[in-house]
Structure 1
């Protein structure tokens, strides 16, 4: 006579082994995705630093550009004052020339008067000396003014050239900042995709864990094992994720809160079914297995809801 229990256990063990291989493969894939996520996290951090630095550089170049603008304005003001000084020196030279001509005419007139105009002649000579000295000083001022003007021309040209170069650099920096922003956004999008894939792989692993755990309950029932051979709901992969791991990212969601009770119930009913089996209470075994399967449906449902949340 065929021992159907032994046959069932044999083939169930084989199926469990196959599912375990699939689960381990998915888990390995999830771990590799997590490694990629760590690299993307580092990349995102570097992009953030680069964007901050380029923003600071743009601000600095704006300040330099403003400084050059003020410098050009001051140079233009200085050039304007040099022109005014030059105009004033020209006027002084013109007036001194007129004074000199007037002194010559006065000397001629004094000579016509004779001895009575001697004092006036001395005054005319002094006036001539003064006008010549004024002309000399005016000429010196004009020369200094011309030298200053000549020296400021290259300063002004250099300032304008430097400002143009700063503006060109600023344009390049702004373009670079825009490119960095675009790359940062693409990296963030890629990170979002990898995070979703990683969570998808993890939740699929959890679902396979769940199936394997239930299959183990049936094997334990056939082997008449007691309830101590299975773990608590806080000790499985899902439980550790829920209470100790990244589950806290979903803590504020309704699906996360609803997941706890059916998950706990699956483990409790499985253990109670094993205990009832040892006590040879088959009615209780059937009752707890039914509750375990019903709760299992809710566990899978809420895990799928979490997977489809944009919460990564």
Structure 2
């Protein structure tokens, strides 16, 4: 069957048209493939830039965490300073206690001395009364002596009148008068001596009264000084407790920073920022936190509920951190991430319990 020439020309024209369209489509496809290749390269470059940026940002974040170590050392230094101040105040308290005990002993001695002085005052007053009685007796003796002297004089007069018959009586009268004069003289001397004793006794009573008054004033002053010491001791105790609380709080903050630094080193090793073997990471008993927990912390806070709960999550932090690194080194990323998350969960519990302990201390 033969085509007419007109149909043949029409088909040829259609063919040329389709061929031209196909050529255009091929060129367009080639252009699209070229553009697609450029876009693919751009996306790959963008992804590389994003990955590089994220990795750099993560590295900076880990560096930031590791810088906490410097802050930790400063906090630990503050803790040591507080601890030294607390010990100094403890020594001051002991010194005040010794001084206060010495003052109390002095006050007791002075009070005893005051009592003895009161007894002495009473004894001296009694001696004064006895001297007054002696003086009265001496006055009576002097009076009797005067009367005896007068009687002896009268007897001598009567003996003189009697002449030779009264001569012997006259001698007796002279002896009696001489004895009366001697007695009167002795009585006067005794009276003078007793008056001196009374004067000296009165002066002693006055001196004892003055000494007792001074002793009482001194005792009152020492009692007030002792009360002031007690106030100072109370203030020192308050300061000591405040410093102890600040010291304990500072150490707990240092422990928390230790904890953060330890985790930061785990992440730094995982991302290749820190060259440290997994075996070199301390377990939960050998880090500063663990040593504190099983020693000083146990002695001071073992009665606290939060302290009792603290050991298990702390152990979990170390265990999961080390396991995460082992899985990461084995290229088991999913298992590593599971342990990283478990480490962070346990870490949150540790921080919560430490905050609870710090709140109880304060």
Give TM class, smaller chain.
0.7 to 0.9
1:257 aligns with 2:308: yes
Q: Deviations over 1:11-30 (max 9, x none)?
A: 22232144334333333333
The two structures, once aligned, show a CA RMSD in angstroms of 3.0
Q: Deviations over 1:72-115 (max 9, x none)?
A: 22221221221111111111112222333334445556667777
**Match of residue 171, structure 1, among 215, 220, 238:** 220
User: Aligned with 1:309: secondary structure?
Assistant: helix
Instruction: Give the TM-score of the pair, scaled to structure 2.
Output: 0.74
1:147-162 alignment runs, 5 A limit: 147-162=196-211
Distance 1:234 1:295 in 2: 16
Larger radius of gyration: 2
1:285 aligns with 2:324: no
Aligned to 2:97: 48
For CA contacts below 8 A with separation 6 or more, give which structure has more relative contact order: 1
In the TM superposition, residue 43 of structure 1 has moved relative to its aligned partner by 2.6
Aligned partners of 1:226 and 1:275 also within 8 Å: no
1:107-186 alignment runs, 5 A limit: 107=156, 123-186=172-235
Distance 2:360 2:158 in 1: 113
Aligned to 1:298: 349
Instruction: Give the TM-score of the pair, scaled to structure 1.
Output: 0.84
Distance 2:194 2:361 in 1: 74
Aligned partners of 1:16 and 1:215 also within 8 Å: yes
Distance 2:336 2:158 in 1: 148
Question: How many residues in Structure 1 have an aligned counterpart in Structure 2?
Answer: 311
1:1-312 alignment runs, 5 A limit: 1-2=48-49, 3=51, 6-107=55-156, 123-223=172-272, 227-245=278-296, 247-310=298-361
Q: Say which is worse superposed, 158-167 or 181-190, in terms of deviation.
A: 158-167
Distance 1:17 1:260 in 2: 24
Distance 1:291 1:111 in 2: 145
Aligned partners of 1:226 and 1:278 also within 8 Å: no
In the TM superposition, residue 46 of structure 1 has moved relative to its aligned partner by 2.7
Distance 2:286 2:213 in 1: 68
Unaligned 5+ segments in structure 1 are none
